[in-house]
Amino acid sequence: MIAPILRQKSALRAAVKAWKQAGETVAVVPTMGALHQGHLSLVRAAETQCDRVIVTIFVNPKQFNNPEDLENYPRTEEDDAQKLSHHRVDAIYCPDPDQIYPDGFCTNISISGLTEVLCGAHRPGHFDGVATVVTKLFTQTLADKAFFGEKDFQQLQVVKRLAADLDLPVEVVGCPTIREEDGLAMSSRNLLLSDRARIKAPALHEALEDMADGLRNGGTAEELGAIARKRLIAAGFNEVEYLDLRACDDLSLLNKPDRDARLLVAAWLAGVRLIDNIGV
């Protein structure tokens, strides 16, 4: 059954109020749509942990630093609703833009430190946009738990920090990255890859795995990173924005995995920016 699509926060609030009065717990899965198995794995986790599940679909203009990227972002609402019909989803919240950004909106949520590296350093304003919309989705849905993918590892850390710093009464749950058979991390942006580029794309994940092996064998991120960058360019990538070993908690740069560490990469392939990360 297709869950009701709600476009107004008043309708959402009414549904949530009834659930809460009945003592039910509420999950939110925030997305920008063009749903794939990665998103659906978050929905499955939400289904198992909460009585009610809200999936939000909102292509948030505030988190796009590039207008062309915003314009090209895939929008597939009907398909998305179909895919969600196979799950226990109670509401699909596709807010009208004025429900998120009413006339005169001038509040900005900004997190320092964590957002100044990796994607934050390359996409000015991106994490302010994420933090602002996520705060609004949390307060509008009043969710007890919110499900985010490790695919966007920096985003997950930023949202956890945001919830802790602002005492938002929501538990932020991280879920593992779902991949295609050839290792490419599932992403709505993969739809933008040409057939030729799609064949080259798994090199990104392979580079991370090889670098992780090298680190486990005592190599340094500096030397292994230089080799991996060259390999990515040789495999057809146009530019590697970053390929870093970082501490999981504060995202500080590491040369050896002597703390709980993560390898993170962003690279451009035929006009599409791909990101990925793995634990080391």
Nearest to 164 by CA among 249, 65, 71, 75: 249
Q: Which is nearer to ligand AMP, 28 or 224 (CB)?
A: 28
Dihedral sign (CA 121, 175, 66, 140): negative
Residue type, position 89, single letter = V
Work out the number of other CB atoms within 10 angstroms of the CB of residue 139: 14
Given candidates 56, 187, 190, 277, which one binds ligand AMP under the rule CB under 6 A?
Answer: 187
Determine, following the binding rule CB under 6 A, whether residue 273 of this chain makes contact with ligand AMP: no
Strand ranges, E, within 165-218: 171-175
Shortest Å distance, C-beta 14 to ligand AMP: 25
Please, are residues 151 and 185 in contact by the beta-carbon 8 Å criterion? yes
Q: Which is nearer to ligand AMP, 20 or 88 (CB)?
A: 88
Q: Which is nearer to ligand AMP, 42 or 266 (CB)?
A: 42
> DSSP secondary-structure letter at 179?
B
Structure tokens given for 61: 């203009």
Given candidates 185, 228, 251, 272, which one binds ligand AMP under the rule CB under 6 A?
Answer: 185
Shortest Å distance, C-beta 29 to ligand AMP: 7
Determine, following the binding rule CB under 6 A, whether residue 276 of this chain makes contact with ligand AMP: no
- Cross-strand pairs, 174: 148
Determine, following the binding rule CB under 6 A, whether residue 186 of this chain makes contact with ligand AMP: yes
Site size toward ligand AMP, by CB under 6 A: 17
Please, are residues 61 and 95 in contact by the beta-carbon 8 Å criterion? no
Shortest Å distance, C-beta 139 to ligand AMP: 18
Determine, following the binding rule CB under 6 A, whether residue 178 of this chain makes contact with ligand AMP: yes
Alpha carbons 204 and 209: distance in angstroms, whole number = 9
Q: Which is nearer to ligand AMP, 197 or 224 (CB)?
A: 197
CA 264 to chain centroid, in Å, comes to 14
Q: Which is nearer to ligand AMP, 46 or 224 (CB)?
A: 46
Active site residue 205: no
Binding map of ligand AMP across residues 33-72, x = CB under 6 A, - = no contact: -----xx-xx------------------------------
Shortest Å distance, C-beta 147 to ligand AMP: 7
Query: What does each C-alpha distance from 116 to 111, 125, 252 come to in angstroms?
Result: 9, 10, 11
Alpha carbons 221 and 59: distance in angstroms, whole number = 35
| Contacts to ligand AMP by CB under 6 A | 31-32, 38-39, 41-42, 148-149, 151-152, 175, 177-178, 185-188
Q: Looking at the annotation, which residues are catalytic? A: 39
